[in-house]
């Protein structure tokens, strides 16, 4: 995949952990998913029709998920921004450390394109970092999608691509999980009056 596009996909992932406004975060996720779909399409020529279908599945994801997220946003309007667990720059610095760790610690995966390998692994770790570092339930949900986009980036870069059945199944599962997570977000909001998961820390031994 084009190196610039791969860098853009990573940068958009960093954006999700840094920004505070949920609408901006959704826009970043939409842009990241779109860039991924376009990148997959650019690789489609000379590959099987299965791969083309898989690329179209990714483009569909870029349309379906943000639409779903916007519906959730409209139904869970926060009266004010949820307090951040750490300042934006600290979160960004932590995320950069995670990405750097991915670059240095993960051995070559055999793709022959170190940049794509590193960015894919970094995005999965970045998704985990978003869940850990961000308090709003809605933004934690976005962390899942960033991680999934990292996996998709590597999947489309596999010579011949991953089967469209897997892509389609993964999309179905992701939409299912995001729908359930969206329902949770809505319910948490209704129960607590906010989506702040810091208030959901009562269970421990």
Partner 1 sequence: MTELVPVLAVLVPALPFACGLLVLATGTPGRADRVNLATAVVSAAAALVLSATLLARGGSAPLRGGVYMLDGASGVFLALIAIVGLCSALLSPAYLRTAGRSWFSAGRSRHWYYAAFYAFWGALLAVPIAGNLAVGWLLVEATTAASALLVAFTGRRHALEAGWKYLILTTLGLSVALLGIVVLALALSRHGGGGLAALDWHALERAAPGLPRQTTLVAFVLILAGLATKIGWAPVHNWLPDAHSEAPAPISALLSAALLPTVALVAWRVKLTLAVAVGSANARAVFLGFGLASLIVAVPFLWRALPWKRLLAYSSLEHMGVVALGIGFGTPLAIAGVVIHVAGHGLAKALGFYAAMPLLRSDPAAGRRAPSGVLATSRPTAAAMGLSLGALGGLPPSPVFVSEVLILLGGLAAGDTAVVIVAALALALGFLGLLHALLEGVIGAPGRGRSPRRHRGDRPIAAMTVAIGTGLASLTVAGLLLPGSAFVVTLARGAL
Give the largest CA-CA distance in the chain: 57
Please say whether the beta carbons of 4 and 39 come within 8 A. no
Question: CB of 80 within 8 A of CB of 20?
Answer: no
Contact 122, 99 (CB under 8 A): yes
Of 87 and 191, the one with the shorter C-beta distance to partner 1 is 191
Nearest Cα neighbor of 48 from 161, 193, 172 is 161
**Least distance from partner 1 to the Cβ atom of residue 127, Å:** 7
Q: Draw the binding track, 38-57, toward partner 1 (x: CB under 8 A; -: no contact).
A: ------------x-------
Residue 87 or 134 having the CB closest to partner 1: 134
Task: List the interface residues with partner 1, window 120-139 (CB under 8 A).
Answer: 120-121, 124, 127-128, 131, 137
Helix or strand or coil: residue 43?
coil
Q: How far is the CB of 15 from partner 1 (least distance, A)?
A: 19
Compute the least distance from the CB of residue 197 to partner 1, in Å.
7
Looking only at residues 139 through 168 of this chain, which bind partner 1 when binding is defined by CB under 8 A?
140-141, 143-144, 147-148, 150-151, 154-155, 158-160, 162-163, 165-166
DSSP string covering 131-174: HHH--BHHHHHHHHHHHHHHHHHHHHHSTT-S-HHHHHHHHHHH
Please name which of 8, 55, 33, 5 lies closest in space to residue 161, comparing C-alpha atoms. 55
Binding site for partner 1 (CB under 8 A): 50, 106-111, 120-121, 124, 127-128, 131, 137, 140-141, 143-144, 147-148, 150-151, 154-155, 158-160, 162-163, 165-166, 169-170, 172-173, 176-177, 179-181, 183-184, 187-188, 191-192, 197, 200-203, 205
């Amino acid at each position: 995949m084009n190196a610039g596009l791969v860098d853009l996909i990573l940068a958009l992932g960093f954006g999700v952990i840094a920004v505070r406004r949920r609408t901006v975060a959704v826009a970043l996720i939409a842009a990241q998913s779109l860039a991924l779909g376009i990148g997959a399409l650019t690789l489609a020529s000379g590959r099987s029709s299965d791969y083309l279908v898989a690329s179209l599945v990714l483009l569909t994801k870029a349309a379906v998920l943000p639409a779903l997220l916007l519906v959730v946003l409209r139904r869970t309007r926060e009266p004010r921004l949820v307090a951040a667990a750490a300042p934006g720059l600290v979160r960004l610095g932590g995320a950069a450390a995670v990405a750097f760790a991915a670059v240095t610690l993960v051995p070559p995966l055999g793709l022959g394109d170190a940049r794509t390998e590193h960015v894919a692994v970094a995005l999965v770790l970045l998704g985990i970092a978003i869940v850990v570092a961000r308090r709003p339930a809605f933004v934690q949900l976005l962390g899942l999608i960033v991680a999934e986009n990292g996996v998709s980036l590597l999947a489309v870069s596999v010579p011949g691509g991953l089967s469209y059945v897997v892509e389609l199944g993964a999309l179905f599962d992701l939409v299912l999980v995001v729908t359930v997570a969206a329902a949770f977000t809505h319910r948490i909001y209704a129960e607590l009056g906010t989506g702040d998961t810091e208030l959901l820390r009562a269970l421990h031994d």
